[in-house]
Amino acid sequence: MLTDLDLPALWEYRSDYQEPADFDAFWSSTLAEARSHDLGLKLTPVETPLRTVEVFDLAFAGFGGHPVRGWLRVPRHRTGPLPAVVQFHGYASGRGHPLDDLLWASAGYAHLLVDVRGQGAGYAGGGATPDPVGSGPSHPGFLTRGIEDPHSYVYRRVFTDAVRAVEAVRTVEFTDPGRVGLVGASQGGGIALAVAGLVPELAAAHFQAPFLCDIRRAARITGSGPYTEIAGYLAARRDRVEAVFDTLGYFDGIGFASRATAPAWFSAGLMDGVCPPSTAFGAFHAYRGEKQIRAWEFNGHEAGGSDDLAVVLPAFQHLLKP
């Protein structure tokens, strides 16, 4: 069933999100602190039975200098520097198995799939990156950890790790630092959107049903997780509503969209009860760079799934030229 606005209303919709006055200063100081730590890039070959793709266990220093892991997959037979695609995964998942996610390497890219710290313990895509930073009381899940202060909020660390992942892949000897694209679905789409707003000179981006956009609206209109974690937290802390949304203002995809310039493709399922389509359209309308959006009328959170990727692959091929 239709979960949100219909398509004509989505084209007219504009979010009432208001960014914090010190949004840029907050992220500038956060990234400067992270860059005070040596990147510490490590690439370890992984033995697999694959004939056409090589896999490396990649590690680098993220927020606080903490180690972050990912799989770097590359075409086995390659000549010259490769364009790179950096991918971020969905909520509670992880980088998974070395044999997973072969699409982008098979299409000719160096493909880095990055762990989200602290996630991936109970889902098919297992993670290998802990989060050594604690927080105060939170609702079950990840979304409310440290949520009453932007400096302690978990996604400050996650987004910083993601920026450092792009910096890491740009230093790999067989990649072309001028040809880097971003992809992600759901939480991964929200992380990719944050990186697009924080990292210059990216070549392309794909945000599929992006999470963490127009967050206050999403928390009010959807009855599905993970946004219900915010509602659950505030149901017990009724006097903390404004403090929570003040924090979330620093992490809303609409704030990053207004700073992002890479050519971008968005998608949304009009029956998405997890990330309401109006929240994706809110980010799309705010996006600064060249952009397109595909609304999948009878799809939910998969937002077109492989058919959506079939639209994006030729677009990336044109821009990144694998």
Nearest to 103 by CA among 306, 321, 318: 306
Q: DSSP labels for 159-172? A: HHHHHHHHHHHHHS
Dihedral angle, C-alpha 269, 274, 278, 283, nearest 10 °: -100
Closest residue by Cα to residue 59 from 41, 34, 84, 37: 41
Catalytic residue among 93, 186, 267, 278: 186
**The three-state (H, E, C) secondary structure of 38-51, written as one string:** CCCCEEEEECCCCC
Q: Radius of gyration (Cα) for the chain, nearest Å? A: 19
Pick the closest to residue 18 from 252, 219, 189, 211 (CA basis). 252
Tokens 């971020």 found at: 88
3-state secondary structure of 32: helix
Active site residue 149: no
Strand order in the sheet with 53-61: 42-46, 53-61, 67-75, 110-114, 82-88, 175-185, 204-208, 264-269, 291-296
- List the structure tokens of 124: 């098919």
Active site (annotated) includes residue 285: no
Torsion from C-alpha of 205, 116, 142, 280, nearest 10 degrees: 10
318 is catalytic: no
Structure tokens at 74: 């590359």
**Surface-to-core class of residue 132, CB atoms within 10 Å of its CB (0-12 exposed, 13-18 middle, 19+ buried):** exposed
Phi/psi class of residue 243: alpha, beta or left (left: φ > 0; alpha: ψ in -120 to 50)? alpha
Q: Out of 161, 272, 285, 308, which one is annotated catalytic?
A: 272
Question: What amino acid positions are annotated as catalytic residues?
Answer: 186, 272, 301
